[in-house]
Amino acid sequence: MSEWFIYRGTGDPDPERIDRRPAPPPWRDFGAPPIDYRVPEADSATTRRLGTRAVPLAVPGSEALRLINAALYLRRPLLITGEPGSGKSTLAHDLAFELGLGRVLQWPVVSRSELRDGLYSYDAIGRLQDAQLARLEDGGNGGNGGNGGCGPAGGPHPAGDIGRYLRLGPLGTALLAAERPRVLLIDELDKSDIDLPNDLLNVLEEGEFTLPELERVADRPGQQTVQVLTDDGLRAPVTGGRVRCRAFPVVVMTSNRERDFPAPLLRRCIHLDLAAPRDERLAAMVQAHFGAGSYDEYIGLVDRFVRTEADGGVRPTDQLLNAIYLVQHTAGRHPADQEAVADLLMRPLDNGPR
């Protein structure tokens, strides 16, 4: 294990290691002043994927570890390609767990996704409705039309609190000026519209973006700093309508190689092609979900899985995990069923030879 590794893939959490990184290179130093904002603990999405942690975590190969750590040092996004089920998305959860970085912000990309979805949303209609309601309640007197003034009792109308209608998306939340970096998973970027990778470039390069709705009101009294909702469902302050990061987030972008990315995006990322888990890594994954010793106990199924893969065709790790679960809970009592279950579940995803 190289001394310089911050992420080691051992499953041994050490929240202080990330703080021992050297200062960022000058071209990746964003350094916004810290804001008062709480980062939630890891949620069930992480525990579901990573399993029980009764054994050391799935150790990626040493080349993978070097690339992941290079991205952490350089404050660059990681672009992870690989077959379905090779562990690309779970790597983001591994990173957050081992480095103690709290809840993973997840942006599942689909063909309709736009940059704005990742940054923030503004519920203009909700705000208008609240403003109209407030006017009705005022009986038409003293209402402020939702422009940030005061209600009849001297308190602000809900509609005047524009921050209640602004919600940062996963990318927007990851760029808040937290002391420690957040982990952001931009999942399946290759499913996006052709423009999204290019649109992402600028934000990932500059580490900031603006919310025009807040910029417009920033010179009004009391509206310079507005509390907006975050992707975590909490509130965080945004000043002058600009969100700028302090520590660049740990960005993990995944792709099933359904299409190529533009060279300018590739240039700004560290690219890791994650091989399908085998041997030690596969053993660690099985034991993370089924406990120490389970790899040896179900070695028959593991052999079958590895052998069928050698025949060609894509076989994700989930198939093996599903087969073990079923054998453990049902077919284990009916040994004759084991082979049938394995055959049913461990089929190639593509049309490769079987």
Contact 75, 248 (CB under 8 A): yes
317 lies in the site for Mg ion, by CB under 5 A: no
For Mg ion, which is the closer residue by CB, 89 or 230? 89
Interface with ligand ATP (CB under 6 A), residue from 6, 42, 55, 58? 58
Cβ neighbours of residue 173 under 8 Å, at least 6 residues apart?
105, 182, 230, 231, 232, 236
86 lies in the site for ligand ATP, by CB under 6 A: yes
68 lies in the site for ligand ATP, by CB under 6 A: no
For ligand ATP, which is the closer residue by CB, 88 or 304? 88
For Mg ion, which is the closer residue by CB, 18 or 80? 80
85 lies in the site for ligand ATP, by CB under 6 A: yes
321 lies in the site for ligand ATP, by CB under 6 A: yes
Interface with ligand ATP (CB under 6 A), residue from 7, 64, 82, 189? 82
The DSSP code for 332 is G
Rounded CA-CA distance 55/190 in Å is 33
Contact 229, 162 (CB under 8 A): no
89 lies in the site for Mg ion, by CB under 5 A: yes
Closest CA to 289 of 61, 91, 60, 54: 54
**Number of chain residues interacting with ligand ATP (CB under 6 A):** 21
For ligand ATP, which is the closer residue by CB, 88 or 246? 88
What one-character-per-residue DSSP string does 82-127 give? -STTSSHHHHHHHHHHHHT--SPEEEE--TT--HHHHHEEE-HHHH
As beta bridge partners, residue 271 has 79
One character per residue 287-306, x = contact with ligand ATP (rule: CB under 6 A): -x------------------
Q: How far is the CB of 321 from ligand ATP (least distance, A)?
A: 5
Closest CA to 34 of 250, 251, 249, 247: 247
Q: How far is the CB of 61 from Mg ion (least distance, A)?
A: 19
Q: Is beta strand 183-187 parallel, antiparallel or unpaired with respect to 250-255?
A: parallel
For ligand ATP, which is the closer residue by CB, 82 or 181? 82
Rounded CA-CA distance 92/141 in Å is 53
84 lies in the site for ligand ATP, by CB under 6 A: yes
- The binding site for Mg ion (CB under 5 A) comprises 89
Residues that bind ligand ATP (CB under 6 A): 49-51, 57-58, 82, 84-90, 94, 254, 256, 285, 288, 317-318, 321
